[in-house]
Amino acid sequence: MKVAEQIIKRYENADVYNQKGSMRIEFDEHRDIATIYVGSLPIAMIRDIEIQNGTYMSMMLITAQDFKEPRLWKSYKQKLAKAANDAGILVLFTRAIDFGFGEPQVGMMQYDVDPIYDKLIEIAKCSNDDVKTAAAVFNDKGELIVMSYNQFLERDVWSSPIHAEKAIELFLDSDWNTSTGPYIDWQMILEPCYECLKGMIDRGARRIIFAARHKDKWNTVDYMNLRNDILVGDIRDKNEYHIRFYKWYNEKVNKFMEV
């Protein structure tokens, strides 16, 4: 897989590489997956995903888990994510990656809103888009499935940034996703747009939390109508649950948005 090699090359030019550590890639030709290691630790995987009939895109899954020396890891991950975006690869962060040694260790992250915002701010910093935001999705057992951020891919097919929530939806719908829904909890930094909000509801959202208002231009008629329908309870999930959709106060997010 040439694309993974391209990423490593870009990454090797980054300062952090020269400071410490060594990265290497292993290809599994049978599964057509590239695994990226730092030392002996696998930290990311890349493979091509069919997103529509005959349309493929490359996705990278990076472990969100912190190992030793958290500062260094944050820097590693941010640089890896940026290099992937430059190479036209969509990036997602996950607690659990199946590295081919049987069942993945399922990352249990008890759902707690503020600590998740710490993580989302960290991930939003990877963004190469003007609008820096990130989103996370959890299943009905409170397990974190995946997180992502606004990212611009240098590819002809994507002329505008892929929203964090849209990136998550692409992953959930792909055959790389081995978790089962419903995907009930969604948490994001920035209030979603109409398309993303609709996408979350289609995938079983029961609770959607954001921490900062989006710009007025996103308050389209479609958006306002959908939001209103949610708030008055006209839109429910398939089990007739009310969908809760609200703004959460988080001081760190407020500070992050000021920058």
Minimal distance, residue 166 CB to Zn ion, in Å: 6
- By beta-carbon proximity to Zn ion, the closer residue of 68 and 215 is 215
Q: Is 197 within 8 Å of 218 (Cβ atoms)?
A: no
> Does 136 help bind Zn ion (rule: CB under 5 A)?
no
Q: Is 46 within 8 Å of 4 (Cβ atoms)?
A: yes
> Which residues ranging from 152 to 171 are in contact with Zn ion (CB under 5 A)?
163
Minimal distance, residue 235 CB to Zn ion, in Å: 17
Minimal distance, residue 38 CB to Zn ion, in Å: 32
Render 18-70 in DSSP notation, one character per residue: HHS--EEEEEETTTTEEEEEETTEEEEEEEEEEEETTEEEEEEEEE----SSH
Radius of gyration of the chain (CA): 18
SS3 content of the chain, % helix, strand, coil (to 5): 35, 30, 40
Query: What whole-number distance in Å separates Cα of residue 243 and Cα of residue 232?
Result: 10
- By beta-carbon proximity to Zn ion, the closer residue of 38 and 193 is 193
Token pair belonging to 36: 């990226």
Minimal distance, residue 191 CB to Zn ion, in Å: 10
- By beta-carbon proximity to Zn ion, the closer residue of 95 and 163 is 163
- By beta-carbon proximity to Zn ion, the closer residue of 77 and 163 is 163
> Which residues ranging from 180 to 239 are in contact with Zn ion (CB under 5 A)?
193, 196
178 C-beta neighbours (distance < 10 Å), count: 10
- By beta-carbon proximity to Zn ion, the closer residue of 196 and 205 is 196
- By beta-carbon proximity to Zn ion, the closer residue of 7 and 196 is 196
Size of the site for Zn ion (CB under 5 A): 3
Q: Which of 165, 132, 13 is nearest to 79 (CA)?
A: 13
Minimal distance, residue 60 CB to Zn ion, in Å: 21
> Which residues ranging from 55 to 114 are in contact with Zn ion (CB under 5 A)?
none
Say if residue 29 is exposed, middle or buried (CB neighbours under 10 Å; 0-12, 13-18, 19+): exposed
Minimal distance, residue 183 CB to Zn ion, in Å: 16
Interface residues with Zn ion (CB under 5 A)? Answer: 163, 193, 196
